[in-house]
């Protein structure tokens, strides 16, 4: 059999990624909110290598309003796509079917996969698959991507449709007479144009002309009058059709007038008055747990590295008569640097676990909803908040996720403010410094930094909106996904992806940076020297004066900041090497043992300057991975450079203000 390519299309949050993972055995991140998947993903079906699956970005329609809608439809009409599997959230037929009708019009064979049938059953609903299939004229099948129910049947149906694809007839949705005659006129005119390289059906192009689709009107230069009226009728008729289909197919009627328990919870969680305080409290709890529970494991891991791993390797190196510089490189440089970063893994796991749980239950989507309302009042789109919250994990996927924003200007704003959202890599810095300087108040100190980042992001968004990217606010209806029991599989998967990234980073970027830093701290042009005469100290000293007004103008902090542009964790590995020089960072930081790490840190920082330093790390230049992503997403080095510069300036100014105010108070 030849390769059969199946495109998965569907609304955001319909379960496409879950289905894709289950079909292909891949492990992509799944989240209970719209807009998580924005790039298309390829994979071969596990049980049948002749079927290739492509997961398209989630869309509500196929009009060229946003980038992912264009990606989806242009891909579907390509030659290589044989079959479209339209994944639907069966608990929400009305909304999902709008896309189905558009997919049918595109002209490729469509199979409807009614997903989340487990929930439909739980809700006591019954959907007639047969009626749905009859009315739409396409094959329909009920599945549950989460439990795996019906997936084999879906594959069988895919193969059957593929084998019969030559007999496939274009399904036509017919509209009222007036619209049909206009469609026919336009279809004929388009036919006469003999368009080159056109893969779209002419009837579809006619429909899109009526809908005033920017991409199609650009391609087809047919003078059309104002089709506004017909366009409205077209959408109206589609919805009418959907209404009839749903009415026929839903065998048990939903009780519309009854508040579900989800609605009751929403009344509290999205309440104007206490929605935001509840979110604040929740996040505070998350940080409290990160420190108090994650901290226990951090101590254990630290103890293990300091008391077992390090002495073990050290005595091994000694027994092998290793030359002293190599011993120092391995112990002080690599174990000091990489170990200094790895020991924060428990905190990272805790934070990510908590955020994943909040995402998967559907709570984070509520937070976006509350903030949306607040932000609309100052002219910003609420849709930008989902990427912002994703930024708590890592800013790279978060910036990619801004592709869901229809308006280019809003998207630029969302990209430029995203790095202010404190990513997981910055957490270790806060853990280390807040443990050393604010014992007992670590959670509140760290929490305040996250809030500060958020506030700066909002202020900057507001300024951008009024200056560089002025424009109308795009209307946006935030939809709330249902509350769901988080799936253990999804959560572990997501956690694993993030933990793996952290470990891989420790083993690559941080490893290399540690070796380099070890070298520049031990040598200068005349060979091996004391740390104070090293290259590293010279570089640090040259730049340090810039930071004197901020309270941390010493070369050690400066060098750490410079290196931190590689990856924010490098700030930690760097400090571990500089201050610890082989000492275990946390041990010294936590126990404050004489001659250890803490006394040196205490000389280098006061409480106020340590806080200013953390603020600077929160706000300054994004790491190289993020700079690269900004370049890729804005298609210009100009904006990547801009974000480096403006974040530096903001970090400096804010840290300065905080340091000065702090000095007055304390």
Give the binding site for ligand GDP (CB under 6 A). 10, 12-18, 30-32, 36-37, 58, 115-116, 118-119, 144-146, 360, 484, 487, 490
3-state SS, residue 88: strand
Residue 86 or 407: which CB sits closer to ligand GDP? Answer: 86
CB 108 within 8 Å of CB 84: yes
Residue 409: exposure state from Cβ atoms within 10 A (0-12, 13-18, ≥19):
middle
150: left (phi over 0), alpha (psi -120 to 50) or beta: left
Closest separation in Å from C-beta 276 to ligand GDP: 24
Structure tokens at 312: 């073990």
CB of 68 to ligand GDP, least distance (A): 11
Beta carbons of 112 and 100 less than 8 angstroms apart: yes
Q: Which two tokens stand for residue 119?
A: 């929930």
What span, in angstroms and rounded, lies between the C-alpha atoms of 168 and 146?
Answer: 31
Q: Are the C-beta atoms of residues 373 and 272 closer than 8 Å to each other?
A: yes
- Whole-number minimum distance, CB 319 to ligand GDP, in Å? 52
Smallest gap from residue 408 Cβ to ligand GDP (A): 23
Rank residues 116 and 140 by Cβ distance to ligand GDP and give the closer one. 116
Q: For ligand GDP, which is the closer residue by CB, 16 or 426?
A: 16
User: Measured from the CB atom, is 34 or 294 closer to ligand GDP?
Assistant: 34
Overall residue count recorded for the chain in this entry: 666
* Closest residue to ligand GDP, based on beta-carbon distance: 15
- Between 99 and 614, name the residue whose CB sits nearer to ligand GDP: 99
- Using the minimum distance from each CB to ligand GDP, give the nearer residue, 22 or 328: 22
Q: Which residue has the tokens 């929490």?
A: 447
Nearer to ligand GDP, 81 or 386 (CB): 386
| CB-nearer residue toward ligand GDP: 28 or 233 | 28
Q: How far is the CB of 505 from ligand GDP (least distance, A)?
A: 25
What is the nearest approach in angstroms of ligand GDP to the Cβ of residue 139?
19
Query: Could you tell me the smallest distance in angstroms from the CB atom of residue 483 to ligand GDP?
Result: 10
By beta-carbon proximity to ligand GDP, the closer residue of 144 and 161 is 144
β-pair partners for 43: 53
For ligand GDP, give the closer residue by CB, 99 or 608: 99
As measured in angstroms, the least distance from the Cβ of 11 to ligand GDP is 7
Query: Rounded to the nearest whole angstrom, what is the least distance from the CB of residue 484 to ligand GDP in the complex?
Result: 5
Burial (Cβ within 10 Å: 0-12, 13-18, ≥19) of residue 559: buried
Q: Which is nearer to ligand GDP, 119 or 442 (CB)?
A: 119
| Beta strands at 523-524 and 140-142: parallel, antiparallel or unpaired | unpaired
Q: What phi and psi values does residue 639 have, to the nearest 5 degrees? A: -75, -30
How far apart, in Å, are the Cα atoms of 18 and each of 21, 47, 644? 5, 16, 36
**Least distance CB 67 / ligand GDP (angstroms):** 16
Helical residues (DSSP H) of 547-623, grouped into ranges: 555-563, 569-575, 585-591, 597-604, 607-619
Minimum CB separation of residue 19 from ligand GDP in Å reads: 7
What is the C-alpha to C-alpha distance for residues 428 and 585, in angstroms, rounded to an integer?
12
Q: What is the distance between the alpha carbons of residues 117 and 650, in angstroms, rounded to a whole number?
A: 50
Q: Can you tell me whether residue 111 is helix, strand or coil?
A: strand
Compare residues 31 and 391 and give the one whose CB is closer to ligand GDP.
31
DSSP state string for 305-358: IIIIIHHHHHHHHHHTT--HHHHHIIIIIIIIIIIHHHTTHHHHHHHHHHHHHH
Helix (H, G, I), strand (E, B) or coil at 7: strand
Minimum Å distance from CB 519 to ligand GDP? 45
Q: Structure tokens of 198?
A: 């056109």
The strand pairing partners of 257, in sequence order, are none
Give Cα 372 to chain centroid, integer Å: 18
Please list, in sequence order, all residues whose beta carbon lies within 8 angstroms of the beta carbon of residue 598, skipping any fewer than 6 positions away: 436, 588, 589, 591, 592
**Beta carbon nearer to ligand GDP, 58 or 419:** 58
Q: Angle CA(222)–CA(227)–CA(233) in degrees, nearest 5?
A: 135
Are 199 and 235 within 8 A, CB to CB?
A: no
Read off the tokens for 396.
């790279």
Q: How far is residue 534's CA from residue 531's CA, in Å, rounded to a whole number?
A: 5
Tokens of 516: 């380099």
Q: Shortest Cβ distance from residue 402 to ligand GDP (Å)?
A: 16
Q: Rounded to the nearest whole angstrom, what is the least distance from the CB of residue 637 to ligand GDP in the complex?
A: 32
DSSP assignment, residue 199? Answer: -
Query: Residue 325 corresponds to which tokens in the numbers above?
Result: 């510089």
Query: Nearest approach, Cβ of 467 to ligand GDP (angstroms)?
Result: 34
Q: Which of 363/420 has CB closer to ligand GDP?
A: 363
Q: With respect to ligand GDP, which residue has the nearer C-beta, 6 or 655? A: 6
């Amino acid at each position: 059999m030849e390769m059969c390519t199946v495109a998965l299309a569907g609304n955001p949050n319909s379960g496409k990624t879950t289905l894709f993972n289950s079909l292909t055995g891949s492990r992509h991140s799944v989240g209970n909110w719209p807009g998580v998947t924005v790039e298309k993903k390829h994979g071969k079906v596990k049980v049948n290598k002749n079927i290739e699956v492509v997961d398209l970005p989630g869309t509500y329609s196929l009009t060229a309003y946003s980038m992912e809608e264009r990606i989806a439809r242009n891909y579907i009409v390509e030659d290589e796509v044989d079959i479209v599997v339209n994944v639907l959230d069966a608990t929400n037929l009305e909304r999902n079917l709008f896309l189905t009708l558009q997919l049918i019009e595109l002209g490729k064979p469509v199979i409807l996969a009614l997903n989340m049938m487990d929930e439909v059953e739980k809700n006591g609903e019954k959907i007639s698959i047969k009626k749905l299939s009859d009315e739409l004229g396409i094959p329909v099948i009920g599945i549950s991507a989460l439990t795996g129910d019906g997936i084999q049947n879906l594959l069988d149906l895919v193969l059957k449709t593929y084998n019969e694809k030559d007999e496939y007839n274009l399904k036509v949705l017919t509209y009222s007479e007036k619209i049909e005659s206009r469609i026919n006129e336009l279809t004929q005119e388009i036919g006469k144009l003999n368009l080159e390289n056109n893969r779209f059906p002419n009837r579809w192009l006619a429909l899109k002309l009526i809908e005033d689709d920017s991409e199609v009107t650009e391609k087809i230069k047919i003078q059309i009058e104002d089709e506004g009226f017909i366009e409205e009728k077209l959408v109206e008729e589609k919805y009418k059709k959907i209404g009839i289909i749903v009415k026929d197919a839903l065998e048990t009627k939903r009780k519309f007038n009854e508040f579900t328990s989800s609605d009751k919870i929403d009344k509290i969680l999205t309440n104007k008055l206490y929605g935001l305080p509840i979110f604040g409290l929740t996040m505070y709890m998350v940080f409290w747990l990160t420190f108090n529970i994650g901290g226990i494991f951090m101590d254990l891991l630290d103890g293990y590295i300091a008391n077992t791993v390090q002495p073990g390797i050290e005595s091994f190196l000694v027994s092998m008569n290793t030359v002293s510089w190599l011993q120092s490189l391995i112990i002080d440089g690599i174990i000091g640097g990489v170990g200094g970063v790895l020991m924060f893994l428990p905190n990272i796991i805790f934070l990510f676990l908590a955020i994943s749980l909040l995402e998967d239950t559907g709570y984070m989507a509520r937070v976006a909803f509350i903030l949306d309302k607040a932000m609309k009042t100052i002219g910003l789109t609420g849709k930008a908040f989902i990427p912002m919250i994703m930024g708590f994990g890592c800013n790279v996927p978060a910036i990619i996720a801004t592709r869901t924003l229809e308006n280019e200007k809003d998207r630029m704003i969302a990209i430029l403010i995203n790095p202010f959202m404190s990513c997981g890599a910055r957490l270790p810095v806060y853990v280390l410094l807040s443990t050393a300087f604010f014992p007992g108040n670590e959670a509140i100190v760290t929490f305040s930094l996250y809030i500060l980042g958020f506030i700066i992001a909002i202020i900057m968004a507001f300024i951008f909106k009024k200056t560089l990217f002025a424009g109308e606010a795009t209307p946006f209806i935030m939809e709330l996904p249902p509350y769901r029991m988080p799936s253990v599989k999804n959560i572990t998967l997501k956690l694993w992806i993030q933990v793996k990234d952290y470990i891989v980073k420790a083993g690559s970027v941080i490893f290399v940076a540690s070796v380099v830093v070890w070298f520049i701290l031990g040598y200068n042009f005349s060979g091996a020297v004391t740390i104070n005469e090293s290259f590293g100290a010279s570089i640090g000293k040259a730049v340090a004066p810039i930071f004197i007004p901020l309270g941390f103008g010493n070369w050690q902090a400066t060098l750490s900041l410079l290196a931190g542009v590689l990856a924010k964790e490098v700030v930690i590995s760097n400090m571990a090497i500089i201050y610890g020089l082989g000492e275990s960072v946390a041990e010294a930081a936590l126990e404050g043992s004489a001659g250890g790490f803490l006394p040196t840190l205490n000389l280098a920082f006061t409480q106020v300057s340590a806080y200013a330093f953390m603020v600077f790390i929160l706000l300054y230049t994004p790491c190289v991975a993020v700079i690269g992503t900004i370049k890729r997403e804005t298609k210009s080095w100009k904006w990547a450079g801009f974000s480096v510069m403006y974040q530096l300036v903001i970090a400096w100014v804010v840290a300065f203000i905080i340091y000065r105010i702090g000095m007055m108070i304390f």
